[in-house]
Structure 1
């Protein structure tokens, strides 16, 4: 029987391991569970002799020395998102298979983006604000619809693909800016490709780029000034991707609407004008954080690990070494 080390605190294990996943682990592996101490030595001790290491948020970076003798774990299963701070990519070159639950988290993020678009399109925060202040219907205020509208998506990441799937019933004209998205893949997704400026001419704009040098400052002040009046901007990816100050200025003067889940820096420090703005939806980096989503994470990567161990199949959570430079 293969050996698996759960290298996360008991509290995190309760967060990302459903009862069904725990039963699966017990059935298929000889399992070692970490305690609250996740010191480098403890991590090394747990990993030693294990075939699979199951990690999550709070797991310290895995020292490449764990694989120095050539007998380290065959697979790392990360029940969380990005693995860039967890592993040294050199272990990929040694044939270690790495799996990330980022593609499962993407569905949670996609739902957040869809909810944000609908919430702002219908002007729900503003109606809510008016009612709480003793008002009723506002003759000058009327919500709009998402159906049939142009949606510009920046980056064809897994979160973008989840949103594209969720948008299908709305019959939107979806245009994607991503230098790495081929015409063939765009056709499979049912979207069309465009340059950055064209994508930003949409009524709805959703940002899904990784935090790499090429994407920092991607949406400049000039581009924000060119956004259509009353456009709705959703950023659930990384704060540095957009000129945050310029976006807020255009929201405060009433020209634009925005849903922000990420910031530059985090946590942000906003003045009372921003905090009171009814055309801003502000959340604390929780787009991918749901009860159901978290409980599914360990099972999501373990299912793929088992398929890989049994049949060599690379499932949807497999981290392709070829795309490491542009991965989130």
Structure 2
């Protein structure tokens, strides 16, 4: 599901006069700040906020040097004290509702990353706290990944690449296929799905979507057809875009995988548990299907040599939303909406709507 656009909010929405001094606590490591805050956003922060940055002294000890440093939960209360806005990202610990006890606490949480479900207690939404997530910005990066994966697998590029590396040349009797005009099944009308739909428009595909929460009106606005899940999987390309909720676990069953047409391309960039992973691999290993997997169940995966050597399989390490440009844009994306909320009481695309919390990613 996507959040609503720049809609007016009730008069009770917190506001401040443009240019008013605001205090912002940046609850992330210096390394993460360098990753998600670009130069323009740093200038904006200096113009609009008194900023308190977390430093190396505020980081938790890391047992594994290969893992990025995270903020020490014990440092959060002091950093947040008196802040109007908190800027968070990966490595920020869960913000307990006690930060808002007694009617105090920040007016805004701006999350320069994706889901906020492990970041905040939804109870704070009932207190009128505005929460923003950069998920819609990350969605564009994921959409590009899905398009690239579809084209890569449709043209069988890993197979041809492998042939060249093995000293071969063209593969007799073997050709790739075009995406143009093909039927594309999309499971879930999330923000990543909508980014992919936008990118697919020039290809003139027959776009079919299974999402029980997608209305006919919204489907028409997207330029897609709504179908049942059985019809959605009967497509030349299948892309999965569902949140990690109990209802989506195992939703693409072995039986449904058996209905995917021979030679089809399956892309999963959402959550590994959404699909019967072993069933999909069985169909890939026997040569019937092609797949591009960025997520797994469990993560990281432990595949045997037969899977790792298979030319029908494209494997990436959960990086669909991870691009250099996309990461640097994240803080600016959420802070822009946060300031519009504070200045004018309007919701931007990164606003986390409490009404869709239960079905959001």
TM range (shorter): over 0.9
Q: Counterpart in 2 of 1:315?
A: 348
Deviation at 1:140, TM superposition (A): 2.1
CA–CA separation in structure 1 for the residues paired with 2:158 and 2:124: 48
Q: What residue in structure 1 maps to residue 327 of structure 2?
A: 294
> 4+ runs of 1 displaced by more than 3 Å?
none
Which of 89, 109, 115 is the equivalent residue of 2:148? 115
Matched, 1:70 2:103: yes
- 199, 218, 227: which one pairs with 1:194? 227
- Of 28-37 and 203-212, more deviation after overlay is shown by 28-37
Higher relative contact order (CA 8 A, sep 6+): 2
Q: Does 1:144 align with 2:177?
A: yes
Alpha-carbon shift at residue 119 of structure 1 (Å)? 0.2
The one of 251, 276, 285 equivalent to 2:284 is: 251
Which ranges in structure 2 are unaligned for 5 or more consecutive residues? Answer: 1-20, 59-70
Among 209, 213, 232, the alignment partner of 1:176 is 209
Post-superposition offset of 1:48: 1.3
1:69 and 1:44 map into 2 onto residues whose CA distance is: 14
Corresponding residue for 1:3? Answer: 23
- Equivalent position to 1:27, from 37, 47, 52: 47
Aligned counterpart in structure 1 of residue 295 of structure 2, from 250, 255, 262: 262
CA deviation after TM superposition for structure 1 residue 67, in Å: 0.2
CA–CA distance in structure 2, aligned partners of residues 169 and 53 of structure 1: 40
State the partner residue of 1:232: 265
- TM-score of the two chains, using structure 1 as the length reference: 0.99
TM-score, normalised relative to structure 2: 0.90
Match for residue 85 of structure 2?
52
Alpha-carbon RMSD across the aligned residues, in angstroms, is 0.5
Residue ranges of structure 1 left out of the alignment (5+ in a row)? none
Tell me, in whole angstroms, the C-alpha distance in 1 between the residues paired with 2:81 and 2:195: 37
Distance 2:34 2:276 in 1: 38
Q: How does 1:217-228 map to 2 (within 5 A)?
A: 217-228=250-261
